Chains A and B, each alone.
Chain A
């Protein structure tokens, strides 16, 4: 699939080289007549209006004087100065720590599950996938509220322990662990489904060959299974990392005041504090931080090499 698309883009490149000498009207015409361009147009417009536009606005606002509502002023670094002199690094750290922990826990939980769904429950995997995806049909907030009832003092968990087992359990709500639990719970499908895709991409014969060449089950997993499933694993990790780093509801509902994630700070600046420039500056910092982490991660794992497109 990818190979074909690469070839197509080569062909397209060849065409544009030939038509460079033509007037721009002609070139626009040929560009518009290409199915690829037309097919990409709707999503292009959507991304331009819904992603690039707001991002540009946030970028501009980050350099505006504090507590102003116009982007047409002289740029300043005042917001960043305030942020660095304050204790915002704590929320950044909390967000990154929670996101990293979420990814780590999900990797460990989801990998065996993905293996089981692809190789063991091959026939029933569809039903299992449906069961696992079913919670997605209920809003995150509602599901988290449900967990609140479970974890609160005198709630389902502590009440049961107290009444039937006689073990006194204090409230588990409003802790770091409760937040982490919420993040893991909410993001599980985001890790699982790309991972299933990755795991199912590993040809059975590849594993048999490694096994036949003397590798133990662990060595097959380390040398063949995980490297070949890596594209799916990386995509799952990236999605869950970004989602967890920008999470807000989990921290609010289950973390209370025990955890302040960066998204909460940003939301506060934009709403309660009415300080758009500062909120924008915080957002920019988060984007840069998460973006560079993601880039570093993808650099370490060369997707092209995994797919065998390059050596």
Chain B
């Protein structure tokens, strides 16, 4: 619901939709894997569907490429209903999670496959394959190589080249990078975004990693239990998560169960402490207060003014590459996560008494009713 409003608000300046879903359902027995989804994917955008496993994202993309049919609803490509058009007749194609490269064919033959199917002559096939290999930084000598001799990253590039050889109007990706190590994944994410710019095609990418989605996408749709909980640009999703689910999905956050307090404050239901929070409705009866670890700071001077202040003890310290995360115990029951840049690392932190603070504007309130369903 929130998703739909956010979508229409920014739609006026956006390019026309290439792919539209109208109330699309996919039922497995009684279970709705995809539950009444309506969505517009715009021409030329990099749209990422992100959600935990079982959220219905793979089921959805299988319907979009034509491998499965929706139980209810319509899928429109440039305004034309394509529910019953099989995958091989659709101008779309997909890079599989397993890549599904043909092991009995060479790199060149794999890339040429869609052209061979269309009856393109061998010479022009090879020309196009070499062109794509150059674009994707695959050495020309790989043309005759077996795909099993290629490394993980090279195989990704071969799969992408094969999909581009098909020259689809929309290119789908089903978590193709999930099997790679972190460093290579980061490189390929950027390459993919570059390829998206170079080709100008519409990319629809599926992943369970919001981090990955943030790097590449123009817009992100966060899925949970067969529905979109939020659709928006990476900045919108990061800065203004619509539900507790989205903010939790984005990474580790501090969540406090709170009830209404006097003068627009909220009362921590675990400790009875009172916090300043962003403006809340009069009808607010309770919910979650979410504060990101990087929005909490350590106060050097415990007397300095701050909206919300708590005293605690640093229980543990974790190094996360360029950042440092602290686990701060407040009282007996509460644990706060605080994240700092490495240069702001505390000296001999563990066991030290600290004062943590955050501003009301950096916290978000999600009333219980909004995500109870």
Contacts and interface: CB of A to CB of B under 8 A. Distances in A.
Interface stretch (A9-17, A135-143, A204-212): A204-212
A64 to B, nearest CB: 48
A208 B86 CA distance: 11
B93 A213 contact: yes
A199 to B, nearest CB: 15
B88 A203 contact: no
Interface string A219-236: 100011001101000000
Given A210-B113, A213-B166, A311 B96 contact: no
A203 B99 CA distance: 12
A206 B117 contact: no
Contacts of A309: 148
B170 to A, nearest CB: 12
B73 interface: no
Given A227-B104, A306-B104, A209 B96 contact: yes
B153 interface: no
Contacts of B149: 311
B6 interface: no
A113 B94 CA distance: 30
B90 to A, nearest CB: 8
A253 to B, nearest CB: 42
A307 B103 contact: yes
A208 B102 contact: no
A214 B88 contact: yes
A243 interface: no
B87 A311 contact: no
Nearest to B162: A213
A228 B104 CA distance: 7
A48 B93 CA distance: 56
Contact of A212 (B65, B116, B148): B65
Interface majority SS (helix, strand, loop, mixed), chain B = mixed
A208 B117 contact: no
Contacts of B113: 210, 213, 215, 223
A308 interface: yes
A305 interface: yes
A311 B106 contact: yes
Interface in B191-216: none
B118 interface: yes
A308 B155 CA distance: 14
B178 to A, nearest CB: 14
B270 interface: no
Nearest to A306: B104
Contacts of A230: 104
Given A216-B88, A308-B147, A309-B148, A209 B100 contact: yes
A81 interface: no
Interface of A: 203, 205-206, 208-216, 219, 223-224, 227-228, 230, 305-311
5 contacts: A209-B100, A214-B114, A216-B117, A223-B113, A310-B146
**8 residue pairs, one from A and one from B, having the closest CB atoms:** A311-B146, A308-B103, A209-B100, A308-B148, A213-B114, A205-B100, A212-B87, A214-B117
